[in-house]
Amino acid sequence: MLSIGVTLRGKRRKFIFLGVFLAGCIITGVLSRAPILTWLGGQLIRSDNLEQSDAIVILSGGEFAEREIEGADLYRAGFAPRVAISVGREAPGAKELARRGVGLSDLLEIRLYHLEGLGVPRSAISLLPGRASSTRDEAVMAAEWSEVNDVTSLIVVTSAYHTARAGFIFERIFDRQPVRISLRPSGADDFRADSWWKERTTLRNGIFELQRTLFYWLAY
C-alpha cells in the first residue's frame, strides 16, 4: 500500500508539473504573441531605397487599384519614364459569357483606365509579353521584356505583404541579368507588420503569404 501511495504522489507531482509547464507556455505565448506576429509580418515586407530607374513594373492583383495608385505616384514623381504591367489569364467562364452575349469588363482595360486616370499616359505604359497566372510568370515576362528593351533597373510595385516574396522571385529570375531590382510596397495597402492579425482581410493575406513564401523557398 505504501508503494502505491508513493507512486500516486509521484504521478500527481508529474501532472502538477506538466500543468504548470503548459500554463507557463500558454501565458508566455499570449504575452509574446504580438512581438512574434509582428516579426512574422515584418518578414513579408520589403521596402528598398528607390533610385532613378528605367521602368516601374506594377504586379497584378491586390486590393482594388492599390498597386496602380502607388505605381502612378512613382511615375509622376519621376522615378522612371515607363510603366509595365502584365496581361493576366482569361477569367474562367469568360468565353461562355461572351457566347451568351454577356459583357465582361476586361481586367487589363480596367488597369489601363486607372493608370491613365492617375496621370500615366498610355504612351508610357508597356505590356509585358504573354499572359501571367503567378508572380513567377510576371518575373519571367519582365526579364524577357527588360532584355529586349535594354532595361538595367526596375522598381517592382506590389502589395506590402507580397514584397518580400516578389523580391525573392524576381532576383532569382533575373539572376544572370545585370538588372537592379527594387521593391516598393503600396502605400494604399492596409497590411502593417504590427497589426496585420487584427483584421480579417489582412490576417487572411498574411497567412496565405506565409504559406506561399515557405513554398517558394522550398521549391526554388
Co-location of 30 and 89 in the same domain: no
The single-letter code of the amino acid at 89 is R
Is 50 exceeded by the pLDDT of residue 8? no
Per-residue pLDDT of 121-179, as tens digits, reads: 999 999 999 888 899 999 999 999 999 999 999 999 999 999 999 999 999 999 989 99
85 close to 111: Cβ distance less than 8 angstroms? yes
Residue 202 lies in a domain: no
Residue 197 lies in a domain: no
Co-location of 111 and 16 in the same domain: no
Co-location of 96 and 21 in the same domain: no
Which CATH number characterizes residue 120's domain? 3.40.50.620
Co-location of 168 and 110 in the same domain: yes
Query: For the residues 57-85, what does the mean pLDDT come to?
Result: 94
* Per-residue model confidence (pLDDT) at position 179: 96
Q: What percent of the chain has pLDDT over 90?
A: 57
Per-residue pLDDT of 87-102, as tens digits, reads: 877 666 667 767 776 6
* Per-residue model confidence (pLDDT) at position 30: 46
Co-location of 65 and 10 in the same domain: no
Co-location of 40 and 59 in the same domain: no
Is 80 exceeded by the pLDDT of residue 76? yes
> Where do the DSSP E strands lie in 177-217?
180-185
3-state secondary structure of 3: helix
Co-location of 162 and 83 in the same domain: yes
Residue 201 lies in a domain: no
Name the domain count of the chain: 2
Q: Which of 108, 109, 118, 111 is nearest to 72 (CA)?
A: 118
3-state secondary structure of 130: strand
51 close to 182: Cβ distance less than 8 angstroms? yes
Range of the domain at 149: 55-192
183 close to 166: Cβ distance less than 8 angstroms? yes
Residue 212 lies in a domain: no
Co-location of 34 and 78 in the same domain: no
Residue 185 lies in a domain: yes
Q: What is the mean pLDDT of the chain?
A: 84
* Per-residue model confidence (pLDDT) at position 35: 84
Does the pTM surpass 0.85? The reply is no
Co-location of 140 and 99 in the same domain: yes
Co-location of 102 and 179 in the same domain: yes
